[in-house]
Amino acid sequence: MKRLSLLTLFAATLCSPITAQVTHTFDIQTAKPGAVIQPTMYGIFFEDINFGADGGLYAEMVKNRSFEFENPWMGWNTTGNVEIRDDGPFDRNPHYARLNFSGHRVKHTAIENEGFFGISVKKGETYKFSVYARVPEEAGNKAYFEVQICDKALDLNQHKLASAKITVEGNEWEKYEVDLTPFATCEDGVLRIFLRNSKFRKPQNAVDGPSLDLEHVSLFPAKTWKDRPGGMRQDLAQALYDLHPGIFRFPGGCIVEGTDLADRYQWKHTVGPVENRPLNLNRWQYEFDYRFYPDYYQSYGLGFFEYFQLSEDFGAEPLPVLNCGMTCQYENPIEGEATYHVAVEDLDPYIQDAVDLVEFANGDVSTTWGKLRAEMGHPEPFNLKFLAIGNEQWDYKDNPAYTKRLARFIEVLRKKCPGIKIIGTTGPNSEGWDFDLLQPRMKQLGVDLYDEHFYRNEEWFLSHGLRYDSYDRKGPKVFAGEYACHGKGKYSDGKEKKCNHFETSLYEAAFLTGVERNADIVHMATYAPLFAHVKGWQWRPDLIWFDNFRSFRSISYYVQQLYSHYKGSHVLPLTMAGKPVAGQEGQDGLFASAVVDEVAGSVIVKVANVSDTPASIHLNLLNKKKAAQFTSAEVITLHSDDLDAENSLDNPEAVVPVKTDLDANSRDITIGPKTFQVYIFKR
């Protein structure tokens, strides 16, 4: 968090004493640490929504690289004599492109890929081009092509920024690779492939212009996260790493469910060689017709192996979510349920998928799935501990549609995978008849945790500071698996505004004090969604935004980061006049929680002031002897005078946390209006 110290001047003004009317005394039981804060407490939720995977974290630059989209030429422009064939080398992605002589020496045969919102390259950087190619038997045994990265807007006598000539030999499929280094930067370029003749010129006639077959056309930056070939975008993975997540939930979200069973997320389709991971539709392609992306598919280049690997990179526990035999319930009726969902008696393959996943993650290399993991480069187990069954599913008053299926999974998983903690769900709503139906059923079924979702407005976040204080301590633990404060402003067209403005982030910070205070019952919390491409989003707000070159972290990101970095090890009871500080009546818009880090010995107090006036607070650390031993202290402040302030690509640090030093003996503090602060007293 180096950046925190940069703006200390600004912080100093915020922390300078401002006279306020009343002093609020926070009694903090520093001598009586309470619940353990789980290492999994703050984490990340990943879903391929908003072009979060293909076109986002997964650094592949070629769209429809295997010609498997419903329209096999989507993403491609073609000229000359081209055809799509379907007897390719990868049985689960059988299509490929054949380039034939155009028929005239002056005319070209070429294909051109538009990338995800353009092929975007930087001057002097290396890009790894690869393709599977062969010469069709009837066309001899040599073929030639030229690959180019082009910028059509370039004001030069040519479009080419980088190019290479490749000779293809033989009638068997081989992988060809070459590095391309553009001499200029371009954001909206294309990747072109020209069929050439033996002298790398335009073909002269059908004899010296042989045909060429191309499959899995790929372009990656050489620089990826951890320099893994075919890996993840560095800046986006770094942003996740910088959150220090304790849990990593994947792959969704609604994409787990599918609109039809056929397009549900199947983890077995996402492992093994990338070339043979079958393409799937992405439901976020068509979910909102007012933001329709006909070119949104899932290549599964970011698949379950990569998710496990990233979890390991981040030091987070992996948390896969699997389909429970139900499609999206918003999209499919329950009447005639076996038509749209899987009948309970037919669930065995789905349950087997769950058992096999545990073997893939944890099994010995001599097992079928453990062997595949080893072949993919990770013989050591991934130590999977958690498994969620079903995303946003629910029961009906007269039909326990979800729980009757979940019960079958639990029965088998408890026997076959005894160490795995099972996570159920309370559906899409944080309250209401469906939540009330499911919450007790999760307890009856004996799930270890249940997943709650709440995308709610400002009032909800401010009025739910005590949400978890009354939860049944004997029931399952809580995974607040998807949440975000959705603001109520208006766009110019009058439509509801849901974006990452400062105000909503502040209210998320206020709400999270209640999550932290209840760490005995809440074991995981993940904001959602995670990523959004500025040119390809379907849902907002989101935690991290990006275009093809840049990214920025939303203000909500910094809230998550502050909680995660300063999560401590144990809750310290904190009250004002005997009550939890949760924006209750008479508490003047204050929310607060405290933790101790037993290893470092520091005491950390988080305070949100959502009111319009500054508040004077006395931190009554009730262990005076120990409290006297603090050697230093600091405060981190998140504030903007403008409630509508947002970070953006052009102004990524409009609102960021600001760190400033504090006297180790300070106990009387003043927090400005509409401000979130983290006080850290160190030993």
Residues that bind ligand AHR (CB under 6 A): 47, 49, 252-254, 391-392, 428, 453, 482, 528-529, 539
* Pairing outcome for strands 531-533 and 544-546: parallel
Q: Which residue has the tokens 């739910």?
A: 464
Helix or strand run (H / E) with residue 96: strand 96-100
Query: Closest approach of Cβ 258 to ligand AHR, in Å?
Result: 12
Please report, for residues 42, 406, 508, the alpha-carbon distance to residue 259 in angstroms, rounded to integers and kept in the order given.
Answer: 30, 19, 31
Instruction: Let me know: does 600 contact 37? Beta carbons within 8 Å.
Output: no
Tokens of 560: 């998550």
Q: Which is nearer to ligand AHR, 196 or 498 (CB)?
A: 498
Q: How far is it, in rounded angstroms, from Cα 299 to Cα 282? A: 9
Class of residue 444 by CB neighbours under 10 A (exposed 0-12, middle 13-18, buried 19+): exposed
Round to whole Å and give the CA distance between 44 and 243. 8
Tell me whether strands 127-134 and 174-180 are parallel, antiparallel or unpaired. antiparallel
CB 139 within 8 A of CB 211: yes
Question: Whole-angstrom Cα distance, residue 597 to residue 566?
Answer: 8
Taking the C-alpha atoms of residue 437 and residue 400, their distance in angstroms, rounded to an integer, is 9
3-state secondary structure of 603: strand
CB burial class (10 A; 0-12, 13-18, 19+) of residue 326?
Answer: buried
Distances (CA, A) of 23 to 20, 491, 577, 669: 8, 40, 12, 9
- 317 is annotated as an active-site residue: no
Active-site residue, selected from the candidate residues 112, 306, 392, 516: 392
Residues acting as catalytic residues: 392
